[in-house]
Structures are given as structure tokens and as C-alpha cells.
Chain A
Amino acid sequence: MTDVRPPVADWATDFDHQHPDYAANATEIWDELRDGCPIAHTDRYGGAWFPTRHEDIAAISKDVVHFSSQGVVVTEERPDIPAPMGYAPPITSDPPFHAIARGIMLKFFSPKAIDAWEPIVRETCRRRIADIRAMIDAGETTIDIAAHYSQHIPVSVMADMLDLPREDGDVFRGFIHDIMEQAGEEKPYEESMDFYLDTHVAARRNSLGDDLMSFLCQADIEGMPLLDEHVRGTIGLLIIAGIDTTWSAIGAGLWHMAQSPADRARWTDDPDVQPFALEEVLRFYAPVTMARLIAEDIELSGCTMKAGDWALLPFPSANRDPEAFDQAGEFVIDRARNRHAAFGLGIHRCVGSNLARLELRVAMEEWMAAFPEFELADPDAVTWSTGQVRGPRQLPVRFPS
């Protein structure tokens, strides 16, 4: 893949979600397509479809016969490890194996099990805030809070959960970048996430603890321990699915607050509104667009989709569909009816949603308590990621003195 992608002539017939213009204008592109097309197509990536209405996105998410999870990140090539297991179970698994691979994880990620992690998440956020205070005390006036705050929280929490060194955060981020933002480029095995994880999983099998990696090493399917590649694939999935996404959600929430004095005041003055505000962040700035590989030809809303084509699932576009939400295009901080699809729909509902919500809540609580007043240092200096996980990657803010 080259860094320079050909310009997009027409988003309805030639869209490209990895193009920088998409990163800059995604919401406008969704709105325009939803009103017109509403399922866009491109010949890029060997053929891909891009539905924009809630109804079509929900229908695809729930049709696991025609739409396979063998591929969930759009690349030029088609993935070569077939479902049902796929490369990273359960996200790349289809039924019936999907339910087995997912079932193994559910207990670790249930709401009550995840509640127990709150002190660790809070401590992580406070550590970061202390560092930021130190930077301010040292005379810094502008601080990139994507780099110094939102990014670190999920990395640190995930490292703690897996009992891997916190210092390996940079290593995790490198893997995520290679896989999500440079989708399709091959690296030698020794530099890959697979190598890193194979090494740790092999060592962990001999020194089990009560962490998530040990939990997976001890899990079984009908009495058979998980294959090494299953354990590795699932941990790799947790790193990829759990970090960039949560970083994006926290960053988007802070980006929103930085620009809205009214919503900042409401957050601080009316704590009862906070649970609704957090769900509205997830609806309005839903970070994740998934994909499916079409397994069998199918007709959907007048489009003939062919086996082997991709179908993207832009949950953020579903979340802004006026057919599904009142005032869909507005951030309503106390929205009480909010069936948003930020964590997907159907059998692949985000296994980590309880953890993601915990991290988002605590990160926002701690930030807003520490810095109730802050604003963008320069709106043009904010950058957003391209590709299937969308969130602020540079977010310089300043604090009124």
C-alpha cells in the first residue's frame, strides 16, 4: 500500500475510508450518502459496500450466514485463515465456533467482574493527571491530551489485565498502528505482534497467575485446552480491539467537552446527567466501523452484493440516522432514549463493552474533576485517525489561567 491514495471522485461510487479526506469529513460523508445513495460502493479493496442507514447496518450485523466475520478489517487481499475460527477468535469467527470462543471470555468481562477493576482504572487516570499537572507546573501551556492522557489509559489497563509490563505500551501501540492504520502491510515475524505474544504465552503457561492471559491459558473447549494460536489470537484481538477504540472514545469525549462550555457546566453541576452524557459520547462519536466478507451473493436494499466483496459496518453512521434517533445530528447531553450501536449489534456485541464503559466513565470523571475548564489550543491542530477506528490522535488543549 502506498501512502498517497488516489483522490475520491465520488463517495457513492468510489469511497475510501482510508483516505485522509474521509478522516477529515466522515460525518458529512455519512449524512450525504444516507440522504441519497444510501449504500455506497467502491472498486477499491477488490470491491466493497458501505451502508449508511441504521436499518441496513443492523440487518448486515445480524445476518451471519451471508456476511462472514472471516474478514473484519478491509484490506486489498482477502484473509487466508478461514472462519469458523479465523485469525482472532471470536471477532473473526462465525457460528458455531463463535459462541464457544466468545463464551470463554464472557465471564471475565461481565459487568460485575469488570467492576472490580475500577480502582485500577482510577489510579491509572490519576497517575496521568499528576503527570499533566507536573507539565503545567513546569511551564507548559499547551498539552496534547490524546498523547498524554486518553492514549495511556487503555494501554495501561490492558497491560495490567494481561500482567504484561506497562512499559510495553509503546510496543502495543506499534502493533495496533501496523494492523489498523497500515492494514495489509507485512512485517517480518520477529517484529510482529504474533512473535511478541507467542513468546509471552509460552512463558506464561509455566507461571500461571490470575491475570487474563493465564485465564485464557487455562480455558478449555470441551476439556481440550485452547490451541496456542487461539490464545495468541484472542490476546492480540484484545490489544487491538481494546486500546485504539477506548483511546478514541475518551479522546472524542474530551474533544467535545473542550469545545462546549455549556456541556462542561452541565456535567459538573448536574452529576445525574453524566451516565446519559457518556452514552451520548458513544453514540455521537462511535469510534468503530467493522467489516464483513460476503460469503454468499445477496440482494440488500436494491444492491446486489457478490460473494468475496467486503461490506463495511459504520456503526457511527447508524448512530446518526434520523430514522433511528431524534435530533440525530445533535449532541444532546441528557438524551434519555439512546439505543446506539457503538458496540455493534447481534452476536458480536463488543465483549469489552463493560470495560470500555468503565474506562470512559472514570477517565471523564477524573479529567473533569481535575480540569473543569479547558479548551482547544488550536482547532486546526486536532487530527483524527483514518481507517476503521476513528478518534482524535492529536488533541492539544490549554487551560485558562
Chain B
Amino acid sequence: MKIKYDRSACQGHNRCYMLAPELFDTDDEGYAILLVEGDVPAELEEKARLAADNCPEFAIEIED
């Protein structure tokens, strides 16, 4: 599984950071920073989906 994060769509709702802090940090203005490059560790796949499914701006996509 891979995460695609679209910085231009992100508006800093911070849902991803709240739900999956292992995968997303926030910068000092509140925009998301994707922490993983490449494959998402298996134990975090559920959290990745949760983050994607809660982003109001559809800025996170999951590629299986």
C-alpha cells in the first residue's frame, strides 16, 4: 500500500495527523507532512485508510 498526498488540496483540517500521527505530521502552519515514503508498513495500513477516509478535502489517496 502507498499513500498519495496532494499538498495543493490540503487545507490543514488535521484529521490525518489526529488519526494517524505515525503517518502524518503537521508543519508550523498546520498543513500535513507525509512521513512515509514508499510502502506503508502493514500494521499501519488501517490507519492510512482511516486518514484518507476522513480528509474533508480528498487530499489523501490510497494506492493498493
Contacts and interface: CB of A to CB of B under 8 A. Distances in A.
Given A103-B29, A106-B29, A346-B11, A111 B54 contact: no
A347 B10 CA distance: 9
A113 B30 CA distance: 9
Contacts of B53: 336-339
B26 A112 contact: yes
B56 A341 contact: yes
Interface residues of A, number: 23
Contact of A111 (B11, B26, B56): B26
Contacts of A106: 12, 28-30
Nearest to A337: B53
A275 B30 contact: no
A343 B15 CA distance: 12
B14 A354 contact: yes
A349 interface: yes
B54 to A, nearest CB: 6
Contacts of B13: 343, 349, 353
Nearest to A109: B30
A237 interface: no
A110 interface: yes
B16 to A, nearest CB: 11
Nearest to B17: A111
A349 B57 CA distance: 10
B18 interface: yes
Contacts of B57: 345-346, 349
Given A343-B13, A346-B11, A349-B12, A354 B30 contact: yes
B47 to A, nearest CB: 11
Contact of B28 (A107, A341, A347): A107
B43 to A, nearest CB: 17
A107 B26 contact: no
Interface residues of B, number: 20
A106 to B, nearest CB: 4
A311 B56 CA distance: 21
B28 A349 contact: no
Contacts of A340: 56
B28 A110 contact: yes
Given A339-B54, A345-B56, A353 B14 contact: yes
B40 interface: no
B14 A339 contact: no
Interface in B1-25: 11-15, 17-19
A336 B29 contact: no
B55 interface: yes
B29 A110 contact: yes
Nearest to A342: B56
A353 B31 CA distance: 13
B54 A337 contact: yes
Nearest to A341: B56
Contacts of B28: 106-107, 110, 112-113
Interface string A103-123: 100110111110000000000
Interface string A245-282: 00000000000000000000000000000010001000
B50 interface: yes
Contacts of B50: 336
Q: Give the 8 A-B CB pairs with smallest separation, nearest first.
A: A106-B29, A349-B11, A337-B53, A110-B30, A339-B56, A111-B14, A111-B26, A107-B28
25 contacts: A106-B12, A106-B28, A106-B29, A107-B28, A107-B29, A109-B30, A110-B26, A110-B27, A110-B29, A110-B30, A112-B26, A336-B53, A337-B53, A337-B54, A339-B53, A339-B54, A339-B55, A339-B56, A347-B11, A349-B11, A349-B12, A349-B13, A349-B57, A353-B14, A354-B14
Given A110-B26, A346-B57, A349-B12, 20 more contacts: A106-B29, A109-B30, A110-B29, A110-B30, A111-B26, A111-B30, A112-B26, A112-B28, A113-B28, A275-B19, A279-B15, A279-B54, A337-B53, A337-B54, A338-B54, A339-B53, A339-B56, A341-B56, A345-B56, A354-B30
